[in-house]
Chains A and B, each alone.
Chain A
Amino acid sequence: MAELSFQLNGKAVRVSDLDPHTTLLSWLRQAGLTGSKEGCAEGECGACAVLLLRPDDQGSRLEAVNGCLLLLPSLAGREVWTVEGLSGNGDLHPVQQAMLQGGSQCGYCTPGFVVSMAAEYYRKGREGFDLEALSGNLCRCTGYRPIRDAALALGRPSPEDPLARRLSEPAPPLGPLHYQAGPTYLRPASLPELFQALEAHPQARLVAGGTDLVVEVNQRFARAEVLLDLSALPELQTLQWGPDYVEIGAGVSLSELERWLAGRIPLLSEWFPLFASRLIRNRATLGGNLGTASPIGDGPPVLLALEAEAVLVSAAGERVVPLERFFTGYRQTALSPGEVIRAVRIPLPLAPQARFYKVSKRRLDDISTVAAAFALRLEAGVVQHIRIGLGGVAATPVRAYQTEAFLQGKPWDERTVRAAAEVIRGEFRPIDDHRGSAAYRTAMLGNLLQKFHAETAEVAV
């Protein structure tokens, strides 16, 4: 089929014969909806932000996402709003009204900020305005303060607000899609359909949130004959808290996960705000983070410290691979052809003390120079269990086995940790690059271990 349809600003639209690598942003702009801007086409600036409707337990919810990283067919059957849909032809939307107070200078970033702000404005049960909602938007003109002031001054939507009303109804369920216009875009809605598709197209490129893949499409003109979208598979959207482990569907977005966990896995809670931005987290998945297998990704160190396992599924059935054996080489994984990551399992109980640290050029959401996650259990001041996951120090994400072994059974005191810091500094040979030198990375490993000790020692005593 060379046609698909979705809802745009409350009206049905049909798209036909367009290459499935077309992004929503470029399609919108060609269709004359030029409110969404392109500032980078790589998910960094947020000028392209649009609103996507998602189901939630009280109906539905609006999420702001990067329009430049959405492949058009991924929208089939979904509802999308752009900045144009907020004011319609009539009065300014309250968010737009708030931005009039100095929030705009050149105005190029403004529609993106308006959209990100609107998503937070409509968030149910919010108290105040969570500025994290604006973390994915860059502005070069205003210095941000007037924008922050606008956000903090926002009231709440009135019950008659058409979008607020829409949110009390559920979002449409995602069905299967078979779209072909040049390349093929498949969105199976069940595992059997997935296996069928994988058998027919063993070379298909998997897409989850697309936050890695579509950057490649935009920046390096990556093209696939067949794209296989995993987002309509209920089996990848599950979240289960069992007696022995927590199982997180590989297709759950990080924002969704954050909400669902509500702090129950403290190490993940520490990690989320350091991961990119709200816009990216609304799409990015654990499956994609592991699938990309970037040596500087920060999912792997966290999951390694939690001793997570990847649940891989194929037509032949499931197998469970501990994460430490999942990364086999530079950007290589244990995935066989025809296999996808269905879920990530985190064993229970959790080590009581855990921390995640990221050192980067900027403060928070940068690509990390070094990422380190620690999970620790003490018994009477002695290390009974420690797991250390690291990124940015080798060709793959790694565990610091030698350091773990060194610490095992030793008292968790300053002397031991100082010695352990030397062990961890000697355990890896990181590289020099423009993000950081080998010497800095090596030194950081020890420092972060000592920082972890300093922050946990009080509790331990």
Chain B
Amino acid sequence: MSNRYIGQPMKRLEDGKLVRGQGQYLADLPSENLLHLVLVRSPYAHARLVSVDTTEARQCPGVVGVYTSSDLPELYAPASVPRDAQGALHPLLARERVRYAGEPVVAVLATSEALAHDAAQNVWVEYEPLPAYADVRQAEQAPPIHPQLPSNVALARKTTSGEVAPAFAQAHAVVSARMVQQRVAPSPLEPRGVLASWDGIREALTVWSSTQMPHDLRSAIAERLGLAENQVRVITPDVGGAFGAKINVYPEEILVAYLARRLGRSVRWLEGRSESFGATIHGRAQVAELEMAFDAEGKILGLRGRVVADLGAYALETTLGNAPGTILMLQGPYEIPAVELEMVGVYTNATPTGAYRGAGRPEATYYLERLMDMGARALGLDPAEIRRRNFITGPFPYKTRTGARYDSGAYGEVLQKLLEVSNYPQLRAEQAQARQQGRLLGIGLCSYVEITGYGWETGGVRINPDGSAVIFTGTSPHGQGTQNAFVQIVAERLGLPPERISVVQGDTLAVPYGMGTAGSRTLSVGGSAVLKAADIVRDKVTRIAAHLLEAAPEDIELLEQGWGVRGTDRAVPMEQVIATAFSPRKLPPGLEPGLEGHASFALRDANYPFGAHLALVEVDPETGQVRILRYIAVDDCGVVINPLLFEGQQHGGIAQGIGQALYEGIVYDQEGQNRTANYLEYALPKADQMPPLEPHRHQTPSPTNPLGVKGVGEAGAIAATPAVVNAVLDALGIAHLDMPLTPEKVWRALAHPAMPARPR
């Protein structure tokens, strides 16, 4: 039987609720009898805490408590610190020093949010400002901002493979560049928030948090509060976007849980938008100095250089992961015979950085794709041609010199498809023609390969007596709608109508275990676990049906009308199978009642989606403003379970990639103040800035999981940034400019190529 559900553009089941405004996000949970937490945050990027006076605040109306670090046990937010790295943990409230503007210093708890804000205005903190190093290059040389550490360098590694020095010595051409991956804010439209409630009867804590990782948060809270994991239940309500920012367990989550436990009350904290620009991780934030050697034919001979990552002031769970991820993916889809790459992670007086949509892959792809275009310029080759000459063609699995193991790939094919669907030669002709009329058109390409999926996951399927079913998953999607794909998988395997299937996710009490949603892992890892669980149920269903039909289980097949015996017209409807499953007497010997299956699935090897994107832009020579005329994407993320969900991820990712290329960037001034802490200053892309996207697909099933899928969540954000930047630089005819390509920067490059761009 061909697929009824898998591969179909089924509408999402939750959207009815969302369009009605009935989504339940953290701030929408019932709020009676809550205590409200407001944090007094440091206005300084680096300072010694001289004194904190909370007397006045304590006397303000409605105030229940005012806390400084000395009123709390010494607790820190969790961090993943590799063995060779120096961890600097984030305290719940600043101790002795503040290390970034926005660091929480004092916690004010009151009976309403407004009263808590009023009281917070009456907390008096005396600071002794210290020199602030928000700039990573300054911080690398500066005295340590964590005095217990020898320096601000938290992580330094070298990856060497092949003979780099001879490669560069023999090179026909060498291109090199210093490239900045600016700090950007993931900025999900729903800021963070957490609500915790102590239940004195059960002696247990329930925590609702806008997080991507409920089980991880549960463990972190239990450990820090001295509770058993069965005393902490974490629930994620509807989550209004995350993009990696809500992977980390943040100090506020521990603090709210702690205060709820200590006071035996319900406590809530909601992050404001400006607060969020300082308190939630930023992404990217790297400077790379790289050079690439080519032979006369444009074949890459070697890649070497240094990537410096700005970690921000403390390590959270994803802070130390971006730089290693960047190096891992720095070979991209190309054969590179020799690499010598150095990576350095540096603490700075700025908001901690961490995983943001792509985490490492956008950085790596951007550097490589910029170098490839520089190589094309240097050698007089078309950007498509130089890529074509360098693609890895297999055999797969393919081990890269940077440590990745590509499961499958068809890099040349996707580029070819892109060139065809975009009619590339025609575009080049149009570009040349436009130039004659003084119009600046630019075409930018990006070939990419990225890595998705990791870890293991649990999945469960339960069929109820009335024929409805529940799926349990440890993944925790927050807007992607992946749960719908799970429904499609179960509907397909069990022949149940999708509208009768619901999904339980984001609840540590209901779901055995899970690693949440991140790294585009949900479908390949979580979906495979759900598939395995569904097949456990299917096996039992088959045996019951065989019993009812007096046939052998091997002869049973799923039909439109139920379960039938192959080659006959005998069948039983699913309802009868279910009824039998719940009637012990009717079951054949050896089968216990109930219809439920639980499974787990471990992904042994990550999978590697790939694709090719093209941007066509026009630059206004008078003002430097950039307009994207067309955007074409060909993505191969393995088997597609639901094309609507797939396209949704393509669109959203590309929009964020365009945002980074042209508009977005966190700017710190000399004093380490964030000058871009609201939407007026931090420019998210708006509707009229999005070109009409032309998304295409290519499908190479992944051998790493039974569904043959790979992740699609990050592809767009990885590919769009270099595609757009390459296009703008193609229009300008210059080698490199750092992002975001604001009108001023572009205009300067046009008008005064010699005028140095101001540091941004």
C-alpha gap A110/B25 in the complex (Å): 13
* Given A106-B241, A142-B648, A434-B676: A362 and B686 interface contact (C-beta under 8 Å): yes
Identify B241's interface contact among A141, A360, A436, A451, CB under 8 A: A141
Identify A84's interface contact among B16, B21, B241, CB under 8 A: B21
Give per-residue flags for A117-158: 1 if the beta carbon is below 8 A from chain B beta carbons, else 0: 000000000000001001101111111111110000000000
Identify A108's interface contact among B240, B272, B678, B744, CB under 8 A: B240
C-alpha gap A444/B621 in the complex (Å): 12
C-alpha gap A364/B241 in the complex (Å): 26
B648 engages A148 (CB within 8 Å) = no
Identify A363's interface contact among B239, B655, B688, B760, CB under 8 A: B688
The segment from A94-102, A252-260, A298-306 that touches chain B is: A94-102
Residues of chain B contacted by A47 (CB below 8 angstroms): 189
Residues of chain B contacted by A221 (CB below 8 angstroms): 117, 121
* Given A40-B678, A47-B189, A105-B479: A83 and B686 interface contact (C-beta under 8 Å): no
Is A227 an interface position by the 8 A CB rule? no
In B492-540, the 8 Å CB interface with A consists of none
C-alpha gap A146/B653 in the complex (Å): 14
In B103-120, the 8 Å CB interface with A consists of 114, 117
Give B746 Cβ to nearest chain A Cβ, in Å. Answer: 11
In A357-371, the 8 Å CB interface with B consists of 357, 359-367, 369
* Given A38-B27, A106-B189, A106-B479: A146 and B239 interface contact (C-beta under 8 Å): no
Is A29 an interface position by the 8 A CB rule? yes
Identify B189's interface contact among A45, A96, A143, A364, CB under 8 A: A45
B15 engages A451 (CB within 8 Å) = no
Is B219 an interface position by the 8 A CB rule? no
Give B577 Cβ to nearest chain A Cβ, in Å. Answer: 33
Is A34 an interface position by the 8 A CB rule? yes
A83 engages B20 (CB within 8 Å) = yes
Is A41 an interface position by the 8 A CB rule? yes
Identify A100's interface contact among B19, B117, B274, CB under 8 A: B19
Give A148 Cβ to nearest chain B Cβ, in Å. Answer: 7
Is B684 an interface position by the 8 A CB rule? yes
C-alpha gap A271/B668 in the complex (Å): 32
Residues of chain B contacted by A105 (CB below 8 angstroms): 241, 479-481, 648, 652
Give B196 Cβ to nearest chain A Cβ, in Å. Answer: 20
Residues of chain B contacted by A41 (CB below 8 angstroms): 272-273
Is B149 an interface position by the 8 A CB rule? no
Is B18 an interface position by the 8 A CB rule? yes
C-alpha gap A97/B648 in the complex (Å): 18
Residues of chain A contacted by B687 (CB below 8 angstroms): 131, 134-135, 137, 139, 144, 147-148
A106 engages B623 (CB within 8 Å) = no
B188 engages A434 (CB within 8 Å) = no
C-alpha gap A364/B278 in the complex (Å): 27
* Closest Cβ neighbor of A441 among chain B residues: B744
B688 engages A146 (CB within 8 Å) = no
Interface of A is mostly: loop
Is B689 an interface position by the 8 A CB rule? yes
Is B693 an interface position by the 8 A CB rule? yes
Residues of chain B contacted by A448 (CB below 8 angstroms): 622-623
* Given A106-B189, A138-B189: A143 and B688 interface contact (C-beta under 8 Å): no
Residues of chain A contacted by B654 (CB below 8 angstroms): 143
B623 engages A367 (CB within 8 Å) = no
A44 engages B25 (CB within 8 Å) = no
Identify A142's interface contact among B31, B121, B652, CB under 8 A: B652
A108 engages B23 (CB within 8 Å) = yes
* Given A111-B21, A362-B686, A363-B688: A106 and B478 interface contact (C-beta under 8 Å): yes
Interface centre among B23, B28, B676, B687 (most CB of A within 10 A): B687
Is B413 an interface position by the 8 A CB rule? no
Give B451 Cβ to nearest chain A Cβ, in Å. Answer: 22
Q: Tally chain B residues at the interface, Cβ within 8 Å.
A: 80
B117 engages A140 (CB within 8 Å) = no
Is A237 an interface position by the 8 A CB rule? no
A365 engages B686 (CB within 8 Å) = yes
C-alpha gap A294/B288 in the complex (Å): 40
In B612-636, the 8 Å CB interface with A consists of 622-623, 625, 627
Give per-residue flags for B698-730: 1 if the beta carbon is below 8 A from chain A beta carbons, else 0: 000000000000000000100000000000000
Is A39 an interface position by the 8 A CB rule? yes
Identify A434's interface contact among B243, B648, B669, CB under 8 A: B669
C-alpha gap A219/B243 in the complex (Å): 26
* Given A108-B25, A138-B189, A443-B751: A131 and B240 interface contact (C-beta under 8 Å): no
Is B419 an interface position by the 8 A CB rule? no
A143 engages B272 (CB within 8 Å) = no
C-alpha gap A451/B624 in the complex (Å): 13
Is B229 an interface position by the 8 A CB rule? no
Residues of chain B contacted by A108 (CB below 8 angstroms): 23, 25, 188-190, 240-241, 479
Is A35 an interface position by the 8 A CB rule? yes
Is B680 an interface position by the 8 A CB rule? yes
Residues of chain B contacted by A416 (CB below 8 angstroms): none
Give B249 Cβ to nearest chain A Cβ, in Å. Answer: 20
Identify A437's interface contact among B188, B648, B744, CB under 8 A: B744
Residues of chain A contacted by B12 (CB below 8 angstroms): 100, 104
Is B124 an interface position by the 8 A CB rule? no
Is A408 an interface position by the 8 A CB rule? no
A104 engages B15 (CB within 8 Å) = yes
Is A213 an interface position by the 8 A CB rule? no
Residues of chain A contacted by B24 (CB below 8 angstroms): 34
A40 engages B655 (CB within 8 Å) = no
A39 engages B273 (CB within 8 Å) = yes
Is A450 an interface position by the 8 A CB rule? yes
* Given A105-B652, A108-B189: A141 and B680 interface contact (C-beta under 8 Å): no
Residues of chain B contacted by A111 (CB below 8 angstroms): 19, 21
Identify A36's interface contact among B21, B239, B480, B681, CB under 8 A: B21
* Given A107-B23, A146-B648: A362 and B117 interface contact (C-beta under 8 Å): no
B19 engages A114 (CB within 8 Å) = yes
Give A67 Cβ to nearest chain B Cβ, in Å. Answer: 12
* Given A41-B273, A135-B686: A140 and B747 interface contact (C-beta under 8 Å): no
* Closest Cβ neighbor of A34 among chain B residues: B28
B689 engages A362 (CB within 8 Å) = yes
Is B549 an interface position by the 8 A CB rule? no
C-alpha gap A34/B669 in the complex (Å): 38
Residues of chain B contacted by A30 (CB below 8 angstroms): 31
Give B757 Cβ to nearest chain A Cβ, in Å. Answer: 10
C-alpha gap A357/B758 in the complex (Å): 24
Is A42 an interface position by the 8 A CB rule? yes
Identify B238's interface contact among A101, A107, A447, CB under 8 A: A107
C-alpha gap A34/B154 in the complex (Å): 44
Residues of chain B contacted by A103 (CB below 8 angstroms): 15, 19
A440 engages B683 (CB within 8 Å) = no
Is A424 an interface position by the 8 A CB rule? no
C-alpha gap A41/B117 in the complex (Å): 15
C-alpha gap A448/B623 in the complex (Å): 8
* Given A106-B479, A107-B238, A139-B189: A361 and B683 interface contact (C-beta under 8 Å): yes
Residues of chain B contacted by A143 (CB below 8 angstroms): 650-655, 690, 693, 716
A-B contacts besides A34-B21, A45-B679, A104-B12, 8 pairs, CB < 8 Å: A34-B24, A97-B19, A110-B18, A142-B648, A143-B653, A360-B743, A367-B680, A367-B681
Q: Give B contacts to A, CB under 8 Å.
A: 11-12, 14-25, 27-28, 31, 114, 117, 121, 187-191, 238-241, 243, 272-274, 478-481, 622-623, 625, 627, 644, 647-648, 650-656, 663, 667, 669, 675-676, 678-681, 683-690, 692-693, 716, 742-744, 747-748, 751, 755, 758, 760
25 of the cross-chain contacts (CB-CB < 8 Å) are A34-B28, A35-B21, A37-B189, A37-B190, A102-B647, A102-B648, A106-B188, A106-B190, A106-B238, A106-B240, A107-B240, A131-B687, A137-B687, A138-B189, A138-B679, A142-B648, A143-B650, A143-B652, A144-B686, A146-B648, A146-B651, A360-B743, A362-B683, A365-B686, A448-B622
Closest CB pairs A-B (n = 6): A35-B21, A106-B479, A108-B240, A143-B651, A107-B18, A143-B655
